Amino acid sequence: MSRNICIYQEFLTEAHRRQIEETAAETGFTPHFFTLEQFEEAKACLQDSEILYAHSLDLLKAGPKTLRWYCCSYAGVDPYCREPSPFPSPDCLLTNSNGYGVTIAEHVIMVLLMLFRRMPEYEAVVRNRDWSNQLAVRSIYENAFVILGTGNIGQTTAERLRGMGAAKITGLSRSGKGPDCFDEVRPITELDEILPETRTLIMALPGTPETRHILDRRRIGLLPEGAYVVNVGRGSAIDQEALAEALNGGRLGGAALDVMEPEPLPKDDPLWTARNLILTPHVSGNMTLGYTCDVNVEMFCGDLRNYAAGKPLRHLVDRAKGY
Amino acid sequence: MSRNICIYQEFLTEAHRRQIEETAAETGFTPHFFTLEQFEEAKACLQDSEILYAHSLDLLKAGPKTLRWYCCSYAGVDPYCREPSPFPSPDCLLTNSNGYGVTIAEHVIMVLLMLFRRMPEYEAVVRNRDWSNQLAVRSIYENAFVILGTGNIGQTTAERLRGMGAAKITGLSRSGKGPDCFDEVRPITELDEILPETRTLIMALPGTPETRHILDRRRIGLLPEGAYVVNVGRGSAIDQEALAEALNGGRLGGAALDVMEPEPLPKDDPLWTARNLILTPHVSGNMTLGYTCDVNVEMFCGDLRNYAAGKPLRHLVDRAKGY
């Protein structure tokens, strides 16, 4: 009996399909492709499949006990690590995809510059067809940054800040260790000491019980007057009510959120009208960037080779920890 | 009789004043400082001054025939090179200031990312409190860029594009020569051959008779479908009517103009409502960035030493050429 892979993805090009077909053929698998409209067909195929490559809670829940590996094409796998577990069996492997670094880092650089260069205010000037142009601006050049989370997104962002002449880039990770693209990496337990000197805080953390409201009201109060906050990790990491108050009261200089809680944001949420807040509807990691899709497929194919050879999967997630 | 410098500037800090005072003392000059409200006082002082450090056509016009050097604190000196000349004597030296590279380059990176990542459209989504989030995005990473003008702004922009992983950066200069931060530098005379392959055109040219409407209707037509245009040089470089038409007709993907003609833009100008156009009221080089001001003062002090020693001025402008 052939070993089947059920693939339920919208973004794949012809070249991606060929790449998956070739890797599957080399490793003794047969891939079956479904678009998002073909949920029922995918579900039927999944019953005889050993591997699922998708981003769908519903499809995963409908899988057989014999499913061995779920490759999630997103980076954030928090919905898959909550109780009750959506996995059909407790020992099914979970991998995630981290090809989002480049597109998310470009998003971070964009919103940082928009905040520093007062774009929310200049956009209002332009909407009124006015010409006032003397707002004080800040620069990435020769300034310091703190990045909460030293994974792929944090690293790729650090590299770009470096390329624009940032003076000092501090990473914060659970272990207090991290790669050389940071000037220093400190443990997250030191967050309270670091915040009072953090003029710009970039948050790129996974959504886990430990990161929930890690930036709460008290810690927002530790940030210096006029500080900026950018979040591209998970909305649950910030006490949004406290953030909106600090923005509206003028204590913070500005913020940019691509993630919030819940999503979509309710129509009457105070965030919609908070002062100097740049909101985007969870688009920083969109798969529409060709490079991101290419990396996603490459990661799946790489781990498919590992899986077939009985080697450890490179992008394995600890389902208990959530990352 | 002491040799006087008339300084008519708003942006100087105490540290800047001390730096100028020390350099002046070393070189046998006495500086006299005036804020922008003190026009009449500055004008009176100017009558006995050999040097003027300012950015004011009116003050320059009111200068004495004995004025030897006008140090303009702006980069764009086109208003000073037009006929009738505002200079009180034909042999008065003119220097300009090029410390604007960093802040203008950060502006270019910001608007490029805003165009690539569809921010004008996502901002409309957010204004309506909607949540549609599947627009196709583009990236600086692995993409190609053409920069018209290889001066300080063009170079600083090229370095930042490189830091973000740009695949190929082509500079265009009059001589066809330029520094290593470009992958290639070609003469502006080859513009017509280059435009059909230019998906993103960044314009950072001085305002001279030669650059007037260098991007005219015919050349806008040479750009490929969906191309992007960013201009931080001078508004006169673009046929704005043709640009607005190409944007509204969907032939171009988007544009960002920090400079236009005239400034301020008239209330009924078609640019205000052009599709996918990011307008800013000539703010990319604002002096409110501390670094920009520091470089400006350093350049003046450096050339003051050159002037006192009878050496050529480093930032001398050819008044006939206009740059």
What are the pLDDT digits (tens) for B242-273?
Answer: 999 999 999 999 999 999 999 999 999 999 99
Average pLDDT of chain B is: 95
Q: How many angstroms separate the CA atoms of A45 and A174, rounded?
A: 40
Mind listing the pLDDT tens digit for each residue in B215-247?
A: 999 999 999 999 999 999 999 999 999 999 999
Judge: B109–A114 Cβ closer than 8 Å, yes or no: no
Cis geometry, peptide bond prior to residue B90 (ω within 30 degrees of 0) = no
Per-residue pLDDT, averaged over A158-162, amounts to 98
Reply yes or no on whether the pLDDT at B125 is more than 70: yes
Judge: A286–B110 Cβ closer than 8 Å, yes or no: no
Q: For residue B152, how many C-alpha atoms fall within 13 Å in the half-sphere facing its CB?
A: 18
Q: What is the pLDDT of residue A1?
A: 55
| Nearest alpha-carbon partner for B74 in B238, B253, B207 | B207
CB-CB neighbors (< 8 A) of B280 in chain A: 122, 126, 133
Q: For residue A301, how many C-alpha atoms fall within 13 Å in the half-sphere facing its CB?
A: 17
pLDDT band at B1 (very low <50, low <70, confident <90, very high): low
Indicate the SS3 state at residue A247: helix
Per-residue pLDDT, averaged over A168-190, amounts to 97
Q: What is the pLDDT of residue A218?
A: 98
Reply yes or no on whether the pLDDT at B20 is more than 70: yes
Q: How many angstroms separate the CA atoms of B245 and B237, rounded?
A: 16
Two structure tokens written together for B230: 């960013």
Two structure tokens written together for B171: 């500079």
Per-residue pLDDT, averaged over A17-34, amounts to 97
User: Which 8-state DSSP code applies to residue A74?
Assistant: S
Indicate the SS3 state at residue A75: coil
Give the position of tokens 């501090």: A170
Judge: B281–A131 Cβ closer than 8 Å, yes or no: yes
CA distances from A4 to A8, A21, A47, A90 (A): 13, 12, 10, 20
Q: What is the pLDDT of residue B288?
A: 67
Judge: B126–A281 Cβ closer than 8 Å, yes or no: yes
Of A107-121, A287-301, B175-189, which gets the smallest average pLDDT? A287-301
| Nearest alpha-carbon partner for B51 in B29, B35, B31, B67 | B67
| Nearest alpha-carbon partner for B261 in B219, B212, B209, B228 | B212
Which of A283, A284, A287, A295 has the highest number of chain B CBs within 10 A, making it the mutation to test binding with B?
Answer: A283
- Chain A: residue nearest B163 by CA? A163
CB-CB neighbors (< 8 A) of B102 in chain A: 139, 141, 165
CB-CB neighbors (< 8 A) of A264 in chain B: 131
pLDDT band at A321 (very low <50, low <70, confident <90, very high): confident
Q: What is the pLDDT of residue B323?
A: 82
**Residue positions counted in chain A:** 323
User: Which 8-state DSSP code applies to residue A197?
Assistant: G
| Nearest alpha-carbon partner for A15 in A299, A298, A308, A302 | A298
Per-residue pLDDT, averaged over A78-101, amounts to 92
| Nearest alpha-carbon partner for B286 in A319, A119, A249 | A119
Our CA-based measurement puts residue B312 at a distance from the nearest CA of chain A, in whole angstroms, of: 31
Indicate the SS3 state at residue B53: strand
CB-CB neighbors (< 8 A) of A137 in chain B: 103, 283, 286, 288-289
CB-CB neighbors (< 8 A) of A102 in chain B: 139, 141, 165
- Chain B: residue nearest A273 by CA? B127
Reply yes or no on whether the pLDDT at B135 is more than 80: yes
Per-residue pLDDT, averaged over B18-47, amounts to 97
Reply yes or no on whether the pLDDT at B203 is more than 70: yes
Q: What is the pLDDT of residue B286?
A: 81
Active site positions of A, annotated: 234, 282
CB B135 within 8 A of CB B121: yes
Instruction: Point out the residue among A137, A160, A281 whose CB comes nearest to the CB of B163.
Output: A160
Provide the whole-model pTM: 0.88
Judge: A139–B107 Cβ closer than 8 Å, yes or no: no
pLDDT band at A133 (very low <50, low <70, confident <90, very high): confident
Two structure tokens written together for A134: 């003397």
pLDDT band at A211 (very low <50, low <70, confident <90, very high): very high
* Alpha helices (H) along B28-146: 39-46, 57-61, 101-116, 119-127
Q: How many angstroms separate the CA atoms of A274 and A245, rounded?
A: 8
Two structure tokens written together for B213: 């409407």
Q: What is the pLDDT of residue B100?
A: 87
Helix A290-308 to helix A101-116 angle (10° resolution) is 150
- ipTM for the complex? 0.88
Q: How many angstroms separate the CA atoms of A96 and A75, rounded?
A: 5
Our CA-based measurement puts residue A17 at a distance from the nearest CA of chain B, in whole angstroms, of: 20
What percent of chain B shows pLDDT beyond 70? 99
| Nearest alpha-carbon partner for B111 in B222, B320, B277 | B277
Q: What is the dihedral of CA B72, B78, B79, B80, to 10 degrees?
A: 60
Mind listing the pLDDT tens digit for each residue in B50-76?
A: 999 999 999 999 999 999 999 999 988
Reply yes or no on whether the pLDDT at B134 is more than 90: no
Reply yes or no on whether the pLDDT at A73 is more than 60: yes
Give the other-Cβ count within 10 Å of A236's Cβ.
Answer: 20
Reply yes or no on whether the pLDDT at A14 is more than 80: yes
Mind listing the pLDDT tens digit for each residue in A224-251?
A: 999 999 999 999 999 999 999 999 999 9
pLDDT band at A288 (very low <50, low <70, confident <90, very high): low
